[in-house]
Amino acid sequence: MREGKPAGPGHRLKDRLAARAAENGLLRVDAEWQVLTGGRTSPVWRVRSGPEDRVCRFRVADHRNPLFPCLPDAERRCLEAVSGCELGPPFLGSLSAEGGELFVLEYSSGTSWTCAGSERPVADVCEVARLLGRLHRFSPLPDLPVRPCGETALRRQVRRILSLCSGEDSSRLSRLEPGTAPGSGTEDCRPRSLVHGDVVPGNIIRTPNGLLLIDWQCPGIGDPVDDIACFLSPAMQMTNGGRPLGSALCDSFLEAYPCAATVARYRSLRPLLQWRMAVYCLWRVVCGRPGYPEYRQAMEAEIQAMTS
């Protein structure tokens, strides 16, 4: 994330959060708060005082986004669980304040993942595949939201998102609904794993000790194909500072992912997962608050990948 200038209302929120964090012993009174840019839904700061270097993110529960809701309770449980497991940043604590939850984490020096301009793009995507493989072997946590799992549930989810949209684009995407996925009769046997839910380039940090996943705002228990589909999505690459990976890099990722059964399931469900992302992009353009016009181009990229 990049450093930025504080805005008026956000600056006042920061002052109130800083006071509460100091009262609760999570941060020092003399800590300096610097706005970080990069998150679209939640304010985030780098907080420094002497040798202490922290990241603070403020979350307010919000279920309006049909694919990437903000779930502070689930995020806290995941951060506590993966802290110290080389999957997420070290978690130092949280507190309820200002109608939301303030998360305090150790600052992890590094850069956002990208393979744009990289001299070793295949190695870069394979490294993410191995990271997700380790995540998906992590024991599922109790009381996390259960994500749609299997063809029937996925199709129902996409149709619900599409019903929130209208117009020619909505009709067009409705006509593009994929047919039945091969092998879908076994969908009730889909495994349930810990799923990050938002594996995009900006949420993968390259540190001196390897890759870490940050921004655990919408985790759940579900099928690992969700995380694979999010990372390989042209739309999610484009709207998070990158560009579509292309078929060769996607194949390299899938070859490096350590579970062949999950890869086979992803390949079977890929048209449906791509359709879901295209529909989500349309929702983001016409229904999201705020709307993001760049998602229209991302939608077209997803449709192209789906129909090619």
**Tens digits of per-residue pLDDT, 204-215?**
999 998 999 999
- Closest Cα partner for 250 from 124, 135, 133? 124
Q: Which residue has the tokens 């990289």?
A: 118
**Tens digits of per-residue pLDDT, 88-102?**
999 999 999 999 999
Average pLDDT over residues 25-35: 94
Average pLDDT over residues 121-133: 97
**Tens digits of per-residue pLDDT, 144-190?**
999 999 999 999 999 999 999 999 999 999 999 999 877 655 555 56
Predicted pLDDT at 3: 44
| Residue 212: partners with Cβ closer than 8 Å, 6 or more residues away | 86, 87, 88, 89, 108, 110, 204, 205
**What is the separation of C-alpha 70 from the centre of its chain, rounded to a whole number of angstroms?**
11
Asked, as a colleague might, if the bond just before 90 is cis with ω within 30 of 0, I would say: no
DSSP helix/strand/coil, 45: strand
pLDDT above 80: residue 117: no
Predicted pLDDT at 8: 42
Counting residues of the chain whose pLDDT is more than 70, the rounded percentage is 93
Counting residues of the chain whose pLDDT is more than 90, the rounded percentage is 78
Predicted pLDDT at 96: 96
Average pLDDT over residues 242-271: 95
Q: Which residue has the tokens 């990241």?
A: 55
The two tokens of residue 108 are: 């992890």
Predicted pLDDT at 192: 85
pTM of the predicted structure, to 2 decimals: 0.93
